[in-house]
């Protein structure tokens, strides 16, 4: 199955067993090493798990080539002392049957998360009225070129099968290449010929320190978004042709820069279409004649296979897909696609957690909503317990279903009770808008998994103490979720709750709709109604709306709202709901329908806390929050039960 995807490919002296590439993804796991920049055993286990899962090429995350600009929490190969750690990683991956690539990186402005790291930028960059980062000097540019070569030499000694030069995402090589960023007037700036010089010299330096039969990859933006004077695809094609002459073999086609909202394309959330780089990659491939692989929300084997069948690429980047499921490739190759846990582009565990980890020491590394054991493969991997246990689960939302599936996988007997007529809970509402179809697909698939696994399910059932006494479970998992919160204000009975709108249990009358609450649910309700030709006003009491979304989803939400008949009023504290208007901060907002979207409150679980049964409270009934936490709660409850 998926013959193209799992066809071997020869690149110089390296043969890959298939066309699937796990591209570099920052994990922040190196922060747990002695100096905060080294390989750890957890990082090795993480890569080995994906090799054993069938992946073709593992790319090690962005790795600093220059010591003064190497930030904490990112890997470094800027000194000889790092060779041994990478050799240990490579030996483990090779023993498991895989191949490795290291992404050689100079982070430019992105290293600013570490105040001790030197920021290198093409031009003077004011960061505050008191401080301006000076432009990189000519001497330092030459030094960095040499550092790329030295890093390549160390990577070869460490046993990597190929190398990748990072020339995208606003890092120094991309910044020097782009006319939207590089405004120098010396030999390194101005004309495109001058701007190409630095990255091409870096490539030459790397290639000079590699064996002739070792492949060199390059990550490059297909064009610049939202940057005046930025790279066009025509310029990128010209540059890639020059890079080919300098020794680059494979192009890893990406997009994004951290200077503008285009940063959302680097780790694109669910709101961005699947495979958004594929057509540009196909054009670059055709016009350069180079081996090419697109990245960007390619999360199913069917889609990846079609890209290859349509002759639009030579390899396919499937990165977050393998965070969600380390065995993605093996399952796909065996045709067990229904067993794959698919990435849904929520960004909660990967990008959002990575950003938070830079400033919150309590967050050790990235995780994944669909795979709470990510980067804990050896320490917190799901394993059968010493004995099979009968476990009653109350609640058939995502937390309850996750617990049931994990219990079944580890040899237990889960019995799932849901008081409503169907499984899925509030997560079904998350897929109500078309842009989030991956959310709906995920919960639909979980429901199918529960059904096909043979798990005992009871719908329309409220479990009593007497029923539990009769069943005699070994453990109880309570996942009864949360309920919409209604503001205790005058006229609140005139409002309908957002959950009933998204589930289409109620009809929203009239053209003008006022939504109270500008968080995630309020936004999704606004988008849902705007798509149905309603004029929507969102009232948010805080100074900013959408604060419960991650940074990239905030960007896509703002874009969506700007293109729809949606008005957002912030610092608007709702006082009352009259017969025809919502009164907020002294101003009236007329309505035909008014909707309450001010969050949820955890359902009461006190009745289950003193039954003499080991009991685990998980998901929204523990604390109303994000789906990432619900999956994590359920996963850890199963780990405890299996002890």
Catalytic residue among 46, 82, 171, 351, which?
171
- Residue 605 to residue 521: CA distance in whole angstroms: 24
Task: Supply 155's token pair.
Answer: 């990577």
Pair 498, 596: CB distance under 8 Å: yes
- Residue 11 to residue 23: CA distance in whole angstroms: 17
The backbone region for 115, taken as left when phi is positive above 0, alpha when psi lies in -120 to 50, beta otherwise, is alpha
CA nearest 464: which of 447, 476, 452, 482?
Answer: 476
Backbone angles phi, psi at 294, to 5 degrees: -85, 150
Burial 168-184 (b: 16+ CB within 10 A, else e): bbbbbbbbbbbbbbbeb
Residue 171 annotated among the catalytic residues of the structure: yes
Q: How far is CA 41 from CA 33, 236, 379, in A?
A: 9, 38, 11
- Residue 259 to residue 278: CA distance in whole angstroms: 24
Paired sense of beta strands 482-484 and 600-602, if any = antiparallel
- Residue 253 to residue 281: CA distance in whole angstroms: 6
3-class state of residue 328 by DSSP: helix
Contacts of 521 by beta carbon, 8 Å cutoff, 6+ apart = 429, 498, 499, 502, 597, 599
Give the CA-trace dihedral at 83, 84, 90, 96, to 10 degrees. 180
Q: How far is CA 497 from CA 217, 365, 492, 538, 599, in A?
A: 52, 36, 10, 14, 10
Pair 638, 632: CB distance under 8 Å: no
CA nearest 483: which of 636, 619, 637?
Answer: 619
Pair 327, 53: CB distance under 8 Å: yes
The backbone region for 571, taken as left when phi is positive above 0, alpha when psi lies in -120 to 50, beta otherwise, is left
Task: Supply 154's token pair.
Answer: 């160390």
The backbone region for 178, taken as left when phi is positive above 0, alpha when psi lies in -120 to 50, beta otherwise, is beta
Which residue is associated with the tokens 């990683």?
Answer: 89
End-to-end CA distance of the chain: 38
Active site residues per annotation: 171
């Amino acid at each position: 199955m998926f013959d193209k995807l799992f066809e071997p490919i020869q690149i110089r002296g390296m043969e890959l067993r298939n066309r699937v590439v796990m591209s570099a993804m920052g994990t922040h796991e190196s922060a747990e090493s002695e100096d905060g920049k080294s390989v750890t055993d957890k990082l090795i286990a993480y890569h080995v798990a994906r090799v054993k899962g069938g992946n073709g090429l593992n790319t090690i995350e962005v790795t600093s080539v220059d010591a003064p600009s190497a930030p904490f929490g990112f890997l470094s190969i800027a000194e000889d002392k790092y060779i041994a750690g990478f050799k240990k990683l490579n030996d483990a991956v090779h023993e498991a049957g895989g191949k490795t690539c290291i992404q050689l990186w100079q982070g430019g402005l992105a290293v600013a998360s570490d105040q001790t790291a030197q920021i290198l930028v093409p031009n003077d960059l004011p960061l505050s009225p008191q401080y301006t980062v000076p432009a990189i000097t000519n001497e330092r540019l030459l030094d960095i070129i040499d550092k790329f070569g030295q890093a390549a030499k160390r990577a070869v000694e460490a046993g990597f099968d190929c190398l990748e030069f990072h020339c995208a995402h606003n890092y120094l090589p991309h910044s020097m290449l782009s006319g939207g960023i590089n405004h120098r007037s010396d030999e390194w700036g101005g004309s495109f010929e001058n701007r190409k010089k630095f990255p091409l010299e870096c490539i030459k330096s790397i290639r000079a320190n590699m064996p002739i039969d070792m492949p060199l990859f390059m990550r490059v933006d297909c064009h610049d978004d939202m940057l005046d004077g930025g790279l066009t695809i025509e310029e990128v094609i010209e540059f890639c042709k020059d890079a080919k002459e300098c020794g680059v073999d494979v192009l890893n086609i990406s997009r994004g820069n951290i200077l503008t909202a285009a940063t959302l394309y680097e780790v694109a959330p669910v709101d961005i279409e699947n495979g958004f780089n594929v057509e540009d990659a196909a054009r670059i491939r055709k016009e350069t004649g180079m081996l090419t692989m697109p990245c960007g929300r390619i999360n199913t084997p069917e889609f990846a296979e079609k890209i290859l069948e349509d002759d639009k690429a030579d390899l396919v980047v499937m990165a977050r897909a393998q965070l969600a499921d380390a065995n993605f490739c093996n399952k796909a190759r065996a045709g067990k696609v229904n067993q794959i846990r698919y990435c849904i582009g929520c960004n909660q565990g990967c990008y959002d957690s990575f950003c938070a980890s830079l400033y919150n020491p309590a967050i050790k590394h990235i995780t994944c909503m669909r795979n709470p054991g990510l980067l804990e493969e050896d320490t917190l991997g799901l394993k059968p317990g010493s004995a099979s246990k009968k476990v009653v689960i109350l609640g058939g939302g995502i937390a309850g279903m996750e617990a049931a599936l994990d219990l079944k996988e580890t040899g237990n007997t889960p019995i799932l009770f849901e008081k409503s007529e169907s499984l899925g809970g509030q997560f079904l509402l998350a897929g109500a808008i078309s842009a989030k179809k991956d959310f709906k697909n995920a919960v639909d698939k979980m429901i199918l998994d529960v059904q096909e696994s043979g798990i005992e399910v009871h719908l329309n059932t409220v479990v009593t103490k007497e029923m539990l006494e009769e069943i005699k479970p070994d453990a109880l998992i309570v996942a009864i979720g949360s309920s919409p919160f209604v503001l205790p204000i005058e006229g609140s009975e005139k409002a309908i709750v957002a959950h009933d709108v998204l589930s289409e249990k109620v009809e929203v009358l009239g053209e003008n709709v006022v939504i109270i609450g500008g968080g995630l649910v309020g936004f999704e309700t606004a988008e849902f109604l705007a798509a149905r030709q309603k004029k929507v006003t969102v009232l948010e009491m805080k100074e900013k709306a959408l604060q419960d979304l991650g940074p990239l989803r905030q960007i896509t939400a703002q874009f969506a709202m700007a293109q729809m008949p949606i008005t957002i009023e912030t610092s608007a504290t709702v006082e009352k709901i009259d017969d025809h208007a919502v009164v907020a901060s002294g101003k009236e907002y007329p309505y035909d329908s008014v909707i309450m979207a001010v969050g949820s409150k955890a359902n009461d679980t006190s009745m289950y806390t003193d039954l003499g049964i080991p009991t685990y409270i998980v998901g929204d009934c523990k604390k109303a929050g994000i789906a990432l936490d619900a999956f994590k709660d359920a996963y850890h409850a199963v780990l405890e039960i299996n002890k």
